Amino acid sequence: MKVTYHGHSVLSVVLEDGTRLLFDPFISENPVADIKAEDVETDYILVTHGHSDHVGDMIEIAKKNEATIISIVEICQYAEKKQVQKTHGLNIGGVFDFPFGRVKLTHAQHSSGYEENGEMIYMGEPAGILLQAEGKTIYHAGDTADFSDLALLGEDYQIDLAFLPIGDNFTMGPKEAARAAKRLKPKQAIPIHYNTFELIQQDPTDFTRELPGVGRIMEIGETIEV
Ligand code: NI
Ligand code: MN
């Protein structure tokens, strides 16, 4: 599979059979995104939690592409109310085997609400997403803080790529994210959710320096094949 980083927490994955997945499609309001929301073509949209910098263009992209949204049940219900046709709701700890592979929603220590017309909409619990396809395992941590049970994921899964937020303020900072990576024991750990806004400016080498041979910075627009 090919995994491309589009800035902030946005990832796209293309599988050998051509199936396209998009994680946390915050694109049109994302000052560092290398793609345009209206140009995106995808089959599935996976969303970690309900904050606007993760939900992003979920509704518009889902409708235009007739894509399936995979997320926690409350986010799927929100999408259905917005006339998205295809959703698949999961909850924390649950897995489902899709035609392209297996998706598990994992714990994340964070919050999840979506502000719309001055009201805060409950979007369920925040999550991480574990994707298993073509014999590879990818973990998108969402906006989690570091917590000790991440070690259980490291015990249960051989993670090839772990995408961890390092921006601080809203999530882990680089040092805590490096500690989380040590709990998860992935083959490669990639920092995300930094340098998008003033509040989350970070030097990603503060993360990779703690993880020799494992930490890897992806440039925006860069693709890794695993
Ligand atoms: Ni968030
Ligand atoms: Mn965020």
Distance of alpha carbon 184 from alpha carbon 162, whole angstroms: 8
**Whole-number pLDDT of residue 225:** 97
Q: How much distance in Å is there from the Cα of 16 to the middle of ligand 1?
A: 31
- Rounded to 10°, the helix 73-81/58-65 angle is 70
Helix runs in 58-108, H state only: 58-65, 73-81
Where exactly are the structural domains of the chain? 2-225
Q: How much distance in Å is there from the Cα of 104 to the middle of ligand 2?
A: 20
Residues in the 5 Å CB sphere of ion ligand 1: 51, 143
Which burial class, exposed, middle or buried, applies to 148 when counting CB atoms under 10 A from its CB (0-12, 13-18, 19+)?
Answer: exposed
Q: 0.85 exceeded by the pTM?
A: yes
Distance of alpha carbon 213 from alpha carbon 148, whole angstroms: 22
Q: How much distance in Å is there from the Cα of 118 to the middle of ligand 2?
A: 19
Distance of alpha carbon 190 from alpha carbon 40, whole angstroms: 23
Q: How much distance in Å is there from the Cα of 17 to the middle of ligand 2?
A: 31
Task: For residue 193, give the ligand nearest its CA.
Answer: 2
Closest CA to 195 of 215, 168, 157, 162: 168
The whole-number mean pLDDT for each consecutive block of 10 residues of the chain, a chain of 226 residues, reads 98 98 98 98 99 98 98 98 98 98 98 97 98 98 98 98 98 98 98 98 98 98 98
Distance of alpha carbon 141 from alpha carbon 102, whole angstroms: 16
CB 31 within 8 A of CB 215: no
Strands (E), 47-141: 68-72, 87-90, 95-98, 101-107, 113-116, 119-122, 127-133, 136-140
Domain 2-225, second-level architecture: 4-Layer Sandwich (3.60)
**Whole-number pLDDT of residue 8:** 98
